[in-house]
Structure 1
Amino acid sequence: MRYSYEFKKDPFGITRIVLPEKISIFSDFIEDISTEKEVDEYIGYVKKVLEGVYEDFEITLNATSVNIKKNITIAEHHYRIDEPFENTIETDEFLELMLIWRQKIVEE
């Protein structure tokens, strides 16, 4: 994994993934995924883009969306007041983050 990350519990006992500021919107996206079934579905979409089955794929959750392309994935936050409103990450790294989050969901 190219990017650092850590897990923290918020004051309500909810697990959060803390990522570097330059990809922090991905934290907001990933934290909206709460079940193993859901994360498996999204991992499948990422893999299909990487394999060339889909040219790109967009997933929209509560406040964020990701646009997955072969080389890069763009996360957008729809309700942020201050910039940045978008972050970019390599798609293979995004897949790695999703797999890490999946493991955390399974553990809890």
Structure 2
Amino acid sequence: MTGRGLARFVEALDFRGWRGELRWANADHDLEVGARFESGGHVALTWTLRPWRSAAGGWETAVVTWLEAGAAKDDLAARLDDFLTARGFPVDHAHSR
């Protein structure tokens, strides 16, 4: 996973709230993030991982993280952007030996 897609998704979440769940997935759909606005100005992010080449009915796992919809959300978006666009990422294992 490279690029700014996930960071832009998190950054675009409106601190004033929204209805329902917003979703983002990477190109292979092995990482999916769902965002729900909750009471008290918090965002629930559900991070789901699944193997992208497995047959239907394979495993998946998910975890929910909570953050404040303003500054904490903006900080996460900035950190994701820094991480996902860092020089040398992703690591090319063929050339790292």
TM-score, normalised by the number of residues in structure 2: 0.52
Tell me the equivalent position of 1:14: none
User: Going by fraction, where is helix more abundant, 1 or 2?
Assistant: 1
**Counterpart for residue 72 of structure 1:** 44
Structure with bigger RCO (C-alpha 8 Å, 6+ apart): 2
How much has 1:89 moved relative to structure 2?
0.3
Structure number with larger C-alpha Rg: 2
TM-score, scaled to structure 1: 0.48
Q: Does 2:11 match 1:35?
A: no
Q: Is the Cα–Cα contact under 8 Å of residues 64 and 75 in structure 1 kept in the other structure?
A: yes
Contact 1:43/1:99 (<8 A) preserved? no
What amino acid sits opposite 1:57 in the alignment?
L
| Corresponding pairs, count | 71
Taking a change above 3 Å as real, the CA distance of residues 41 and 75 of structure 1, as seen in their structure-2 partners, is: same
Specify every segment of 5 or more residues in structure 1 that has no aligned partner in the other structure, as ranges. 1-31
Deviation at 1:65, TM superposition (A): 0.6
Name the % identity: 6
The 5 A counterparts of 1:7-26 are none
Q: Match of 2:80, SS? A: helix
Residues 78-103 of structure 1: per-residue CA shift (max 9 Å, x gap):
228667x1111014456533321212
Consecutive unaligned residues of structure 2, counting only runs of 5 or more, are 38-42, 53-57, 88-97
- Show the counterpart of 1:58: 23
The two structures, once aligned, show a CA RMSD in angstroms of: 2.9
